[in-house]
A and B are shown apart, each in its own frame.
Chain A
């Protein structure tokens, strides 16, 4: 820089500023240069290898043949080999026995007892309004003629969740106690939560075949991580002094766990169970692919036959089930649930008629309470259990249900009455036709859903797929991924990314993977373009946030597959509905985390910026968005993983790509091998994307913060 000696030269401050600016320029040049060099290398390699194109057949490892051999071996040895007769078969048999028992019991119960019990449980943990709505929901199962299928699904859920809890809670407790276990479990759990549900199906099918038991096993595996994680988290969150206090009184480790740690961890454990239930429900339809039956089966079969209306009816039943289970377990997780006899929204509580209705309600409730007490008192004396006396409502409820059951058994009619029935499938089917006839090209112009999906296909998905799978030489793609890995995470990540990307080729899944990748990229771009602005808006406008919340909640509760159905109504089958559904599926993550990130920016930082006279736009750009960056990037990360999960599922309804190949493997025994390989390719793709994104997220969060 300046050559002048310090005393005669410009003031030192100025020279340091000069140096600073120069350094800044240099740094920017270097990073820009790095990108440019990387691009140049890629272009050069592409030109040199332009004849190469997709991955050559000759390099493919015949893994799928090996898998087919293994499958054949399994089939041949199922009856003779010791591992089957002493492990797999007994496990499978006992699960089957449990499932039959639960299902048999549920179907034996009179329908009104099922509805009543659901209503009572929901009322007990939430409030009367929730109870009534739950009863309506249960009646809906019967009304659309899917009573049996719904209870089958409930039974399957019950068994799967029971197994998941029976495994997950002890493992969680152990991993709270032993750091070593926790550390070795973490990457496994991370991986389990990253992978799309799909990939669990094939290994299970390999070992257990297609039936309800393998479906349960796949569900258990998929739904297991939250219970383990949250049990461990809850126990570890108990303050050290509290544990010390117990120890100080000479409590044994077991007593400390039973009397102090576990009760305190209970809310966390229940949250984990809630999440496990929701995850289990979210793969009801997918599990139907390997023979879970129930509602999922109805959705699948209807969609295959393009009976969209029926699919929506069954899908809605799954949503209803999900909402009931979610709300009820949520209510149960909140300590000391409020019991309220409100039917109407709180805002209306003061309106005259509402008040009188609710007055009557509480009078009825008092009456019930009296009746309950009358029952409970002698009962508690007889059983010598004071606890019974304290819950007159529960005693009364149980008594009513028991009487109902006895009557049902006596008259021998527990089926849902055929008289109560309704169906909106025809209306939906009509709507599908109408949409196809009228919205495809609205009023004969080019505007319409047809134009929308065509342009996404023509201008985005197809060119990208062609680019990746045919025009670019495969080493260029691998190299590009490796360079990205190197920039974000150094040599180890670069090596990992290279291995994953090349692995896609060696598995013989290059073209299908690139197809899936192209769809993912398009869907992610759309999700981000919609999600982040929505998040920003929500962060800046409380009213908008409140309006958005139920929509996002709803989108997050709907099992992924069910989300496809309404999209199919609009866009028919093909790649585009898959992409749209992925966008909808992933939107809540991007929006939520953007909103959260901006709102978490401390009030003082925002105020300070405003105090300097920054406009709202400036404050957003210079203070809020940069400070919210870690959260937003975490949102993008989640968006990508959710989109991948959905795009894969959409393979079933014409999305093609890896998803379709996997499903083929499930449907036809002769292509189990290639299905397995496609599943493996999904795993590779998911891990590749996840690691890259994690590294990117970490760059924005210098201090590692726990989940």
Chain B
């Protein structure tokens, strides 16, 4: 089942953490059920009942079910899924804006479920921040006071917080709008205010609930680039929800695909694109720019004996980079790893087969020659 794939992937990645330090954000088996008769619903879930079953028999809605994952420092973890698949509910559980029905969230090793009100407030003040899907701006405060709100709560002096707020507003390009009220701004501008407000407190962990959904394509690209460059400097821990697969591919170190409250698949963009776990995931990847994601390494044929001559291409290059060479050469190209040692070959036929894959309906994942390493 899809859930298994998700679980495996989650554990794999948790294991990948070779440094020994705990990941800043670890979530274990989070479940959130909305409704009255939670006990009965949980019992049904434990028996393995489906979401529909639970809904019909208890009237409860299972918004998030058994979600496990962890996010490393400096990593952007993207969650994707259709409307109503439980993304916003999940991200709210991470900061206990919603109390999860079961499961634990650990931030830097502390289970936040154990914190009392004051502890939770302290955590939110100092470490967390969130951009809301529907902005959640304060309509009675000017833009600058919205952005400075977090520092105000922390007790910062007015001059300090304004200085900082102005810096962040410049980053999002709203420095000329500080004295306006949110309603006087367009949807996209309001969203950037929400973004600035979250960044202003310089949190270690950031939760983004579709932060760019209302932006036009140009500003959206700017914001994405801005986010990536901020991230390169600061190495924060990010959970990022989006509907846009291109955005997920561009930003995500790992992507989780969510369906009916469960993770169907978790993996790097390349893993998701080259080996979708099921039809649902495949549909997301359908018109993804595969050549921008899939690396030479995952399509090459390992060396067997002689190697073709010519300039080798890098193992980690994405296909897009090598396409000109590939098209120009009738022969297979040789592939070299970081040390320059030739490890395999890649030819036009293999790439063509991969690109055709998407349109070939019904192809089972992983049964071709294109299985990732």
Q: Is the CB of A248 within 8 A of B128?
A: yes
A247 within 8 Å of B (CB atoms): yes
With beta carbons under 8 angstroms apart, the residue of A239, A241, A250 that contacts B153 is: A250
A369 within 8 Å of B (CB atoms): no
24 contacts between A and B (CB under 8 A): A239-B136, A241-B135, A241-B136, A244-B92, A245-B130, A245-B132, A245-B138, A245-B197, A246-B153, A247-B97, A247-B124, A248-B124, A248-B128, A248-B129, A249-B149, A249-B153, A250-B121, A250-B124, A250-B150, A250-B154, A252-B121, A259-B149, A259-B153, A260-B140
Shortest Cβ distance from A266 into B: residue? B140
Report chain A residues within 8 Å CB of B122: 250
CB distance from B7 to the nearest CB of A (A): 29
Shortest Cβ distance from A252 into B: residue? B121
Report chain A residues within 8 Å CB of B11: none
With beta carbons under 8 angstroms apart, the residue of B128, B134, B153 that contacts A255 is: B153
Report the separation of the CA atoms of residues A266 and B139 in the bound assembly, to the nearest whole angstrom.
12
Task: Digitize B198-215: 1 where CB-to-A-CB distance is under 8 Å, 0 elsewhere.
Answer: 000100000000000000
Q: Is the CB of A263 within 8 A of B132?
A: no
Report chain B residues within 8 Å CB of A251: 121, 153
A242 within 8 Å of B (CB atoms): yes
Question: Which positions in A face B, CB cutoff 8 Å?
Answer: 239, 241-242, 244-252, 255, 259-260, 263-264, 266
B31 within 8 Å of A (CB atoms): no
CB distance from A361 to the nearest CB of B (A): 28
B172 within 8 Å of A (CB atoms): no
Report the separation of the CA atoms of residues A249 and B126 in the bound assembly, to the nearest whole angstrom.
8
Report chain B residues within 8 Å CB of A245: 130, 132, 136-138, 149, 197
Report chain A residues within 8 Å CB of B149: 245-246, 249, 259
Report the separation of the CA atoms of residues A245 and B153 in the bound assembly, to the nearest whole angstrom.
12
B125 within 8 Å of A (CB atoms): yes
Given A249-B149, A250-B121, A251-B153: A244 and B139 interface contact (C-beta under 8 Å): no
Task: Digitize B91-106: 1 where CB-to-A-CB distance is under 8 Å, 0 elsewhere.
Answer: 0100101000000000
B123 within 8 Å of A (CB atoms): yes
CB distance from A242 to the nearest CB of B (A): 5
6 smallest beta-carbon distances between A and B, as pairs:
A250-B125, A245-B136, A241-B136, A250-B124, A249-B150, A250-B121
Given A241-B135, A259-B152, A264-B140: A248 and B121 interface contact (C-beta under 8 Å): no
Report chain B residues within 8 Å CB of A244: 92, 97, 132, 136
- Contacts A249-B201, A259-B149 supplied; 8 other A-B pairs, CB < 8 Å: A241-B134, A242-B136, A248-B124, A248-B128, A249-B149, A250-B126, A252-B121, A259-B152
Report the separation of the CA atoms of residues A252 and B154 in the bound assembly, to the nearest whole angstrom.
11
Please classify how large the interface on chain B is, using the bins under 10, 10 to 19, 20 to 34, 35 or more. Answer: 20 to 34
With beta carbons under 8 angstroms apart, the residue of B125, B132, B134, B139 that contacts A264 is: B139
Kindly identify, within residues 150 to 199 of chain B, every residue whose CB is under 8 Å from any CB belonging to chain A: 150, 152-154, 197
Q: Is the CB of B132 within 8 A of A249?
A: no
Report chain A residues within 8 Å CB of B128: 248
Report chain A residues within 8 Å CB of B121: 250-252
Report chain A residues within 8 Å CB of B197: 245
Report chain A residues within 8 Å CB of B139: 242, 264
Given A248-B124, A249-B124, A249-B125: A241 and B132 interface contact (C-beta under 8 Å): yes
Report chain B residues within 8 Å CB of A242: 136-139
Report chain B residues within 8 Å CB of A264: 138-140
Report chain B residues within 8 Å CB of A246: 138, 149, 153
Report chain A residues within 8 Å CB of B130: 245, 248
| Total cross-chain contacts (CB, 8 A) | 63
Q: Is the CB of B97 within 8 A of A248?
A: yes
Shortest Cβ distance from A336 into B: residue? B181
CB distance from B207 to the nearest CB of A (A): 8
Shortest Cβ distance from B130 into A: residue? A248
CB distance from A103 to the nearest CB of B (A): 36
Report the separation of the CA atoms of residues A247 and B153 in the bound assembly, to the nearest whole angstrom.
10
Report the separation of the CA atoms of residues A247 and B138 in the bound assembly, to the nearest whole angstrom.
12
Given A250-B121, A250-B153, A252-B121: A260 and B132 interface contact (C-beta under 8 Å): no
CB distance from B267 to the nearest CB of A (A): 29
Report the separation of the CA atoms of residues A248 and B126 in the bound assembly, to the nearest whole angstrom.
11
Report the separation of the CA atoms of residues A266 and B138 in the bound assembly, to the nearest whole angstrom.
13
Report chain B residues within 8 Å CB of A259: 138, 149, 152-153
Shortest Cβ distance from B197 into A: residue? A245
Report the separation of the CA atoms of residues A245 and B123 in the bound assembly, to the nearest whole angstrom.
14
Shortest Cβ distance from A265 into B: residue? B140
Report the separation of the CA atoms of residues A251 and B124 in the bound assembly, to the nearest whole angstrom.
9
CB distance from A501 to the nearest CB of B (A): 41
With beta carbons under 8 angstroms apart, the residue of A248, A255, A266 that contacts B95 is: A248
Q: Is the CB of B123 within 8 A of A250?
A: yes
Report the separation of the CA atoms of residues A241 and B126 in the bound assembly, to the nearest whole angstrom.
20
Shortest Cβ distance from A242 into B: residue? B136
CB distance from B103 to the nearest CB of A (A): 20
Report chain A residues within 8 Å CB of B136: 239, 241-242, 244-245
Report the separation of the CA atoms of residues A442 and B186 in the bound assembly, to the nearest whole angstrom.
68
Report chain A residues within 8 Å CB of B95: 248
Report chain A residues within 8 Å CB of B135: 241
Report chain A residues within 8 Å CB of B150: 249-250
Report chain B residues within 8 Å CB of A250: 120-126, 150, 153-154
CB distance from A4 to the nearest CB of B (A): 42
Shortest Cβ distance from B122 into A: residue? A250
CB distance from B256 to the nearest CB of A (A): 22
Report the separation of the CA atoms of residues A244 and B89 in the bound assembly, to the nearest whole angstrom.
13
Report the separation of the CA atoms of residues A176 and B217 in the bound assembly, to the nearest whole angstrom.
42
Report chain A residues within 8 Å CB of B140: 260, 263-264, 266
Report chain B residues within 8 Å CB of A252: 121
Report the separation of the CA atoms of residues A251 and B137 in the bound assembly, to the nearest whole angstrom.
15
Report chain A residues within 8 Å CB of B153: 246, 249-251, 255, 259
CB distance from A266 to the nearest CB of B (A): 8
Shortest Cβ distance from A260 into B: residue? B138
CB distance from B61 to the nearest CB of A (A): 17
Report chain B residues within 8 Å CB of A263: 140
Report the separation of the CA atoms of residues A248 and B123 in the bound assembly, to the nearest whole angstrom.
9
Shortest Cβ distance from B133 into A: residue? A241
Report the separation of the CA atoms of residues A511 and B243 in the bound assembly, to the nearest whole angstrom.
74
Shortest Cβ distance from B135 into A: residue? A241
Shortest Cβ distance from B125 into A: residue? A250
Report chain B residues within 8 Å CB of A247: 97, 124
CB distance from A107 to the nearest CB of B (A): 39
CB distance from A240 to the nearest CB of B (A): 9
CB distance from A189 to the nearest CB of B (A): 27
Report the separation of the CA atoms of residues A241 and B209 in the bound assembly, to the nearest whole angstrom.
12
CB distance from B143 to the nearest CB of A (A): 14
